[in-house]
Amino acid sequence: MIGIKFITVACEGPRKLAAFWAAALDGDLRELPPTIDPVIVERSGDGPALLFKELPKGTTRDLPIHLDLSTSDREATVERLCDLGAAVRETKTETVDTQTATWTVMEDPEGNRFCVSEYQ
């Protein structure tokens, strides 16, 4: 079986961005020796940790991998993330058969996009 250990985020300010995501996901910053560059956010449960490393982000043509967050109260979660420094890009709703999905496309403090969804 293959599991995901880390989701790596290329960023300009690893410590600042890791602090945002630790607060957003109720995670904990893992203390690493000062000689190690990445910053890791440990999450509760079985999900992968997030690893933040100072790396070039690539070209504007690259398709980024982003996080899809799920919550029972999308609006409250979006408001909380905005208070932490995120920004809203747009909110969308889509209905397929009897399932409706509503999600908000957001950007973290460095402009990396992610979505917050609520399924009804």
Q: Hey, which residues does 87 pair with through a beta bridge?
A: 107
Which helix (H) or strand (E) segment holds residue 93: the answer is strand 87-96
Please report the pLDDT score of residue 112 as a whole number: 87
Q: How many domains does the chain have?
A: 2
Structure letter (DSSP) for residue 118: E
| Shared-domain flag, residues 79 and 47 | no
Q: Dihedral of the CA atoms 61, 57, 71, 76 (nearest 10)?
A: -100
pLDDT along the chain (120 residues), means of 10: 71 90 92 76 83 72 68 92 96 83 90 80
If asked whether residues 37 and 70 sit together in one domain, one would say no
Q: What is the pLDDT of residue 100?
A: 80
CATH code where residue 85 lies: 3.10.180.10
Residues 70 and 50 in one domain: no
In terms of Cα–Cα distance, which of 119, 94, 93, 92 is closest to 106?
A: 92
